[in-house]
Amino acid sequence: MKVLMLGWEFPPIINGGLGIACLGMGKALSKHVDLSFILPKVDPNFVVDRVHLTGLDHLPLGQVRRITEELAAPSETLYETFAEVDRIEADLLPYGAERETKGRSEIAVPRSKPTTVPPTRAAAAQVRYATESLPAFAAGELYGDDVHEKVTAFAKASAILADSREFDVIHVHDWMTFPAGVAIKQRTGKPLVVHVHSLSYDRAGPDSRGWIYDVEKSGMEAADLVIPVSKYTGTIVTGHYGIDPAKVVPIHNGAEPVEPYRTKKAFPEKLVLFLGRLTSQKGPEFFLEIAAKVLKKDRNVRFVMAGTGEKLKPLIEYGAYHDVGDRFHFTGFLNKQKVNELLSMTDVYCMPSVSEPFGLSALEAAQYGIPAVISKQSGVAEVLTRALQADYWDVDLMAQHIVTLLTDEDEYQRAVDASLEDQKNCTWEAAAERILEAYDSHLSLCTLG
Amino acid sequence: MPDLCIYFQAHQPNRLKPYSFFDIGRDPFYEADDLNRDILNKVSDKCYIPATKLLLDLIERHPEFRVAFSLSGVFIEQAEHHRPDVIELFQKLVATGNVELIAETYYHSLCFRHSGKEFARQVQLHVEKLQSVFGVERPRVFRHTELIYFNELAHFVEALGFEGMLAEGVPALLDGRTANGLYRSPNVRTLKTLTRNCQLSDDIAFRFGNPHWPEHPLTAQKYAKWIAREPGEVVNVFIDYETIGEHKWEETGIFDFWSQMPAAMSDAGVNFATPSAVLDNCEVLGTYDVHAPTSWADTAKDLSAWKGNTMQSEATKKILTLEAKVKAINDPDLLHQWSKMQTSDHFYYMCTKGDADGEVHSYFTPYPSPYEGYMYFMNALSDLQIRVDRLSEARP
């Protein structure tokens, strides 16, 4: 069986968790099926065994010419309707990634290389050639802030590329690739699987409506199978987006196994960690309030907020207002090595996300044997079932949970054992098998023969 | 015809390095040594050396020329370490007898409100430093960091034995009276206050060299005319020494301006006076009643440059609350390190004001934004707290 996946991020060009998930899932699935990816950008030096990667920024010249010619011909496909929706806010970066601001500020540097970094000169020339006929690309920056144009261009080019591919299933990841998936389904009649890693609901709340919402909804409606990364996200898919529950199959993400280690802290206090982008979705203000409450009861705790985002500066001032600046530390953006160093000395992980489709970081913390206090509004709460949970807004209960873990040694040990055990079941191999089962049951394809 | 009383402030802080969370408990050194050395070298080459040579030359050619200086303790220390040539020039300058040294807090700090005892210690430390480096008598006049002044402080300074104190002449508090003279806080007996003429001081400190200023270019002759037609017995022009050559580069003509100053004043009939001479010769004009602290910083002329936001309030409070613990440990190095973190510049860098004030703050800050300034300070402070606690526990 052959699976064609469409993704938006893929290591090493990543912004949030999407690229990591695509890699983990791809590696595990490739043991069972023929797997290829079409992506807007790839790093040609990054090779994955048995996974064929195609980047629109690294197309063979012959294909570029062919795509250009086909795009020049008139067509009436779905994605053209998206191209007409041209006046939307310029702030539609995927996952609300903050734009790089001017200056030498280390706290303004984005988490990682965003997908919108300019391609190399050669690659830019190629892609510009490939999309020459599109008026939206005739002038201006190719990789500017106009995500909708990139999404449309990606849809058109992927659809043409797909014509010459053999595959049984189209499997697409998040809204940026939905129009492409729908277009390919229309052209080929192959079944469409949409994988939901994150929704505009998570980033903007229940009031979110607009172009991205429309893309998400129409993509899920056109799909034969919708795979949200958790039951929590599944309820949003069926509730907020009104998708038929019969075709919604939640499948939890896996976590790449790590080699956890412990470092001795250089200070006597216990350490409570928050790790993530400093955006409303992740609930950093709640973490600060939780910290202030815990510190009122126990001064022998340090809190670390690792990551950066548009909330960083207000959060720093809010911390000073709460008078916790000598116990509550901001690190700014940290690379993987520093994150691991931090995990190796962390006592409690706290994830008070307002809406978290999955929450891989809590699972990664569990791999380090760190008990987590997590919000009920998260997918990972379904996996780490014995982790202490509270509603994201219930800072009193969150604080109480943290104090319990920090003061009750038996309770702490139970939580460590439980999280180590819970995370064991969370592998990409298990996720891949469930994906194949869902293909079988919902797409009438025999994959597990 | 008033006299002209010129006073220069020279100061360099010990800026902190980007001290991260990961350094806490591991790295007991907080200062950006290379950066501090480089800045001192740069300012020495642009200002301290050429300006001091110029003043020496002017005093030789115009024996009536007088100026006053306050050199912060941390500045003297840095210069002794990295630029002994700067110290030598200042020693020569003081030896001319035409230069009066003024006392301040050694660490250029803001501790008075928190602890009179710590304030007095730092003043004494500064006085001793001046005596040992320059061989002078105990200064008669005091100035607090960035000309901070208020009644309660004036009273305290009087009790420390000073006869005069410098203050910003805040127009609203002078209430129509001239700044050109001596005043007295209502709660002191003998201490006299020299009020800074903001207009004429800022003509040099801020407006000099600005082509958009209608009075540009300002010549020494024009300036002397302005001084000569001022009311009062003495015009107090108090500015940063770094104005000469550093805040105002040589290209602005600032060196020419100063080199012509003594002759221009003498042509206009203006005499020079040191602060002590003003105390001895001028009359107290009236009461200068300052309840809330004033300073020469920012347009607000209050403490908001250092205590205007929550980050600054928290940082100033938390460094000062360590006093009892630090002093109980009785380790001179630790005490010195803690004291250096009281230097007002650390809090100045955390200021989030915008507009013209914000521009001045960002001119001085070594950090990309006030938030880094706060983060690094608080991380270093956390380390200091841990060390203090460990040393306290280790004590019998």
| Cβ partners under 8 Å of residue B260, min gap 6 | B219, B220, B221
Local structure of A100: helix, strand or coil: coil
The answer to whether residues B142 and B158 touch, using CB atoms and an 8 Å cutoff, is: no
Burial class (CB in 10 A: 0-12, 13-18, 19+), B237: buried
Give which of A60, A361, A36 is closest to A166, Cα–Cα: A36
Residue B299 lies in a domain: no
- Asked whether A19 and A9 are in contact (CB, 8 A), the reply is yes
Mutate to test the interface with A, among B307, B369, B371 (most CBs of A within 10 A): B371
CB A352 within 8 A of CB A336: no
- State whether B93 and B194 are in the same domain: yes
Q: How many structural domains are present in chain B?
A: 2
The model's pLDDT over B363-392, given as tens digits with 9 standing for 90+, comes to 889 999 999 999 999 999 999 999 999 999
**Residue in B with minimal Cα distance to A321:** B310
Residue B381 lies in a domain: yes
Q: How far is CA B165 from CA B75, B120, B192, in A?
A: 21, 15, 6
**Tokens representing A368?**
């380090």
| Residue B356 pLDDT class (50, 70, 90 cuts) | confident
Contact A327 B20 (CB under 8 A): no
Between chain A and chain B, the number of residue pairs with CB atoms below 8 A apart is 73
Distance from CA of A363 to the nearest CA of B (A): 23
Q: Give ∠ CA A285-A360-A438 in degrees, rounded to 5.
A: 130
The reply to whether A284 and A394 lie within a common domain is: yes
- B125 and B221 belong to one structural domain: yes
The model's pLDDT over B303-338, given as tens digits with 9 standing for 90+, comes to 999 999 999 999 999 999 999 999 999 999 999 999
Judge: A323–B314 Cβ closer than 8 Å, yes or no.
yes
Enumerate residues 6+ apart whose C-beta is below 8 A from A304: A271, A272, A273, A274, A328, A329, A330, A331, A342, A346, B21
Are A158 and A111 contained in the same domain? Answer: yes
Catalytically active residues of B are 146
> Is A167 found in the same domain as A32?
yes
For the record, the structure tokens of A364 come out as: 């990664």
Identify all chain A residues contacting B354, using CB atoms and an 8 Å cutoff.
none
Q: Which residue has the higher pLDDT, B395 or B152?
A: B152
CB contact under 8 A, B26 and A304: no
Q: How far is B106 from chain A (nearest CA, A)?
A: 26
Instruction: Give the pLDDT confidence score for residue A64 in this predicted structure.
Output: 72
Whether residue A12 has a cis bond before it, omega within 30° of 0: yes
In a domain, residue B295? The reply is: no
Give the domain range for residue B9: 3-287
> Could you tell me the strand order of the sheet in which B284-287 lies?
B141-142, B164-168, B192-196, B182-184, B284-287
Which 3 state secondary structure label does DSSP give A318? helix
Q: Which of B26, B368, B378 is closest, CB to CB, to A325?
A: B378
- Which residues have C-beta within 8 Å of that of residue A241, sequence separation ≥ 6? A199, A201, A213, A216, A217, A220
Would you state the pLDDT for residue B16? 97
Q: Considering only alpha carbons, which residue of chain A is nearest residue B27?
A: A266
The pair of three-digit structure tokens given for residue B241, joined into one six-digit string: 């020494």
Cα–Cα distances (Å) from A35 to A2, A29, A167, A168, B115, in that order, read 6, 7, 9, 10, 71
Sequence letter at residue B171: P
Task: State the pLDDT at residue A437.
Answer: 95
The neighbour count for residue A444, using CB atoms within 10 Å, is 9
Residue ranges in chain A whose pLDDT is less than 50: 77-143, 449
pLDDT number for residue A135: 34
- Total domain count for chain A? 2
Rg of the Cα atoms in chain A: 22
Instruction: Report the relative pairing of strands B192-196 and B182-184 from DSSP bridges.
Output: antiparallel
User: Distance (Å, rounded) from C-alpha A346 to C-alpha A349?
Assistant: 7
A135, A274: one domain: no
- CB-based contact A266 B382, cutoff 8 Å: no
Flag whether A196 is in a domain: yes
Query: Is the Cβ pair B368, A103 closer than 8 Å?
Result: yes
Beta carbons within 8 Å of B341's beta carbon, 6+ residues apart? B16, B30, B319, B377, B380, B381, B384
Question: Which residue from B309, B378, B385 is facing A317, i.e. has the nearest CB?
Answer: B309
In contact, A315 and A288? CB cutoff 8 Å:
yes
Q: Cβ–Cβ of A325/B386 closer than 8 Å?
A: no
The answer to whether residues B125 and B224 belong to one domain is: yes
Of chain B, the percentage scoring pLDDT greater than 90 comes to: 94
What's the CA angle centered on A384, arms A381 and A390, to 5 degrees?
A: 45
Query: How far apart are the C-alpha atoms of A334 and B22, rounded to whole Å?
Result: 11
Residues B253 and B121 in one domain: yes
**A9, A22 contact by CB (below 8 A):** yes
Q: Could you tell me if residue A449 is inside a domain? A: no
Same domain, A197 and A164: yes
Q: Is residue A318 part of a domain?
A: yes
- Report how far residue B239's alpha carbon sits from residue B237's, in angstroms, rounded to the nearest whole number: 7
Domain stops at, among B261, B287, B313? B287
Q: What is the DSSP string of A34-63?
A: EEEEEES---TT--BTTEEEEETTS--HHH
Q: In this predicted structure, what is the pLDDT of residue A447?
A: 52
Please tell me which of the candidates A103, A266, A316 has its beta carbon nearest to residue B311.
A316
Give the model's pLDDT for residue A446.
56
SS3 B149: strand
Domain boundary among A254, A282, A312: A254
Q: Which residue of A104, A326, A341 is in closest CB contact with B382?
A: A326
Q: Using an 8 Å Cβ cutoff, are A346 and A313 in contact?
A: no
- State the residue range of the domain holding A281: 270-424
CA A307 to CA B190: how far, in whole Å? 58
Q: pLDDT above 70 covers what percent of chain B?
A: 100
Nearest-CA residue of chain B relative to A327?
Answer: B382
Question: Taking CB atoms and an 8 Å cutoff, what residues of chain B touch A338?
Answer: 22
SS3 A311: coil
B369/A107 touch (CB, cutoff 8 Å), yes or no:
yes
CA nearest to A301 within chain B: B382
Is B21 close to A321, i.e. CB distance below 8 A? no
Q: Is residue B368 within 8 angstroms of chain A, CB to CB?
A: yes
Q: What contacts A90, CB < 8 A, 6 or more positions away?
A: A145, A146
- B167-208, pLDDT tens digit by residue? 999 999 999 999 999 999 999 999 999 999 999 999 999 999
Contacts of residue A321 in chain B, CB cutoff 8 Å?
310
CB-CB under 8 Å, A266 with B379 = no
| pLDDT tens digits, B78-87 | 999 999 999 9
Residue A245 shares a structural domain with residue A347: no
A118: exposed, middle or buried (C-beta count within 10 Å: 0-12, 13-18, 19+)?
exposed
B386 touches A: beta carbon within 8 Å: yes
Phi, psi angle pair for B270, to nearest 5° = -95, 130
Binary contact (A321, B372; C-beta < 8 A): no
Contact residues for A293 (Cβ-Cβ < 8 A; gap 6+): A395, A396, A399
Are A54 and A37 within 8 A, CB to CB?
yes
In terms of domains, do A204 and A274 share one? Answer: no
Domain harbouring A362, CATH code: 3.40.50.2000
Identify the pLDDT of residue A133.
29
Q: How far is residue A354 from each of residues A239, A285, A287, A377, measured CA to CA in Å?
A: 17, 10, 11, 6
Residue A44: which residues within 8 A CB-CB, separation 6 or more? A55, A58
Residues from A contacting B (CB-CB < 8 Å) are 103-108, 265-268, 302, 304, 312-313, 316-317, 320-321, 323, 325-327, 329-331, 338, 341
Residue closest to B297 by CA, chosen among B121, B167, B396, B184: B167
Query: Chain B contacts of A316, Cβ < 8 Å?
Result: 311, 371, 374-375
Q: Which of B352, B379, B385 faces A329 most closely, judged by CB atoms?
A: B379
Annotate A222-238 with b (16+ C-beta within 10 A) or e (fewer).
bbbbbbbbbebbbebbb
**SS3 (DSSP) at B238:** strand
Give the chain B residue nearest A266 (alpha carbons).
B25
Given strand A51-55, what is the order of strands in its sheet?
Answer: A51-55, A34-39, A2-6, A169-173, A192-196, A225-228
d(CA B242, CA B287): 32
For A299-313, what is each residue's pLDDT tens digit?
999 999 999 999 999
Cα–Cα distance for residue pair B208/B46, rounded to 1 Å = 17
Q: What is the pLDDT of residue B261?
A: 96
Residue A439: inside a domain, yes or no? no
Our CA-based measurement puts residue A169 at a distance from the nearest CA of chain B, in whole angstroms, of: 48
Instruction: Point out the residue among A302, A316, A338 whose CB comes nearest to the CB of B375.
Output: A316
* Chain B partners within 8 Å of A266 (Cβ): 24-26
Establish if B115 belongs to a structural domain.
yes
Least confident of A200-204, B30-34, B155-159, B187-191: A200-204
Q: Residue B226 belongs to a domain with what CATH number?
A: 3.20.110.20
